[in-house]
Amino acid sequence: MTQRTTVRLICALLAAALMLGCGKIKKTQECKAFISKLNASLREIEKHNAKQSGDEKEKVEKIKKLGELYTQLSTDVEAMKFSDGTLAKHASEYQGMTAKAADIATRLVTALDKGESQNAIKIQDEFDAVVEHEGKLVETINGFCSAP
């Protein structure tokens, strides 16, 4: 191997190492931004938990607000751009879940406004299932983002 070939090989290896390092930095930055957005939104969502005490009218207002908050979170996540394909997939799945939660909250308010208590119970069960799925998605995202 000539000295020129050796220098080219070393430069190529250094460039590859830098690109991998930059990829990790980019992933970390994207994860941090994504998780920060989720945490801020979820704190606000938790404030409007309809299962907290209050009269029926107050609970309906809280559910309306939940729908609005999930709609906003869905829009915010959809607007985020990720260079890492796996993170983009997780974000897309999360965005779909938030859109579904917003839709269910709207349907729940409609059922409650119409006095359809049996239907409202079924819809509430759907909402509870989505929230449970949300917890699993958050665990998956945290696991991915904390991995080296």
Question: From first to last of its 148 residues, what are the pLDDT tens digits of the chain?
Answer: 545 444 454 444 444 444 444 456 788 889 999 988 988 998 888 887 756 566 778 888 889 999 999 999 999 999 999 999 999 999 999 999 999 999 999 999 999 999 998 999 999 999 999 989 988 998 899 888 888 7
Q: What pLDDT sits at residue 47?
A: 83
pTM of the model: 0.79
Q: What pLDDT sits at residue 46?
A: 85
Among 20, 135, 23, residue whose Cα is nearest residue 85 = 23
Q: What pLDDT sits at residue 50?
A: 55
- Any domain includes 3: no
Tally of domains in the chain: 1
Q: Measure the CA–CA gap between 62 and 58, rounded to whole angstroms.
A: 6
- Any domain includes 18: no
Q: 113 is in which domain, residue-wise? A: 26-146
Asked if 61 contacts 50 with a C-beta cutoff of 8 angstroms, the reply is no
Asked if 37 contacts 80 with a C-beta cutoff of 8 angstroms, the reply is yes
Which amino acid is residue 99, in one-letter code?
Answer: A
Q: Measure the CA–CA gap between 53 and 50, rounded to whole angstroms.
A: 8
- Any domain includes 16: no
- Any domain includes 47: yes
- Any domain includes 4: no
Q: What pLDDT sits at residue 42?
A: 87
- Any domain includes 7: no
Torsion region of 115: left, alpha or beta (phi above 0 gives left; psi -120 to 50 gives alpha): left
- Any domain includes 121: yes
- Any domain includes 99: yes
- Report helix angle 56-79 to 3-47, nearest 10: 170
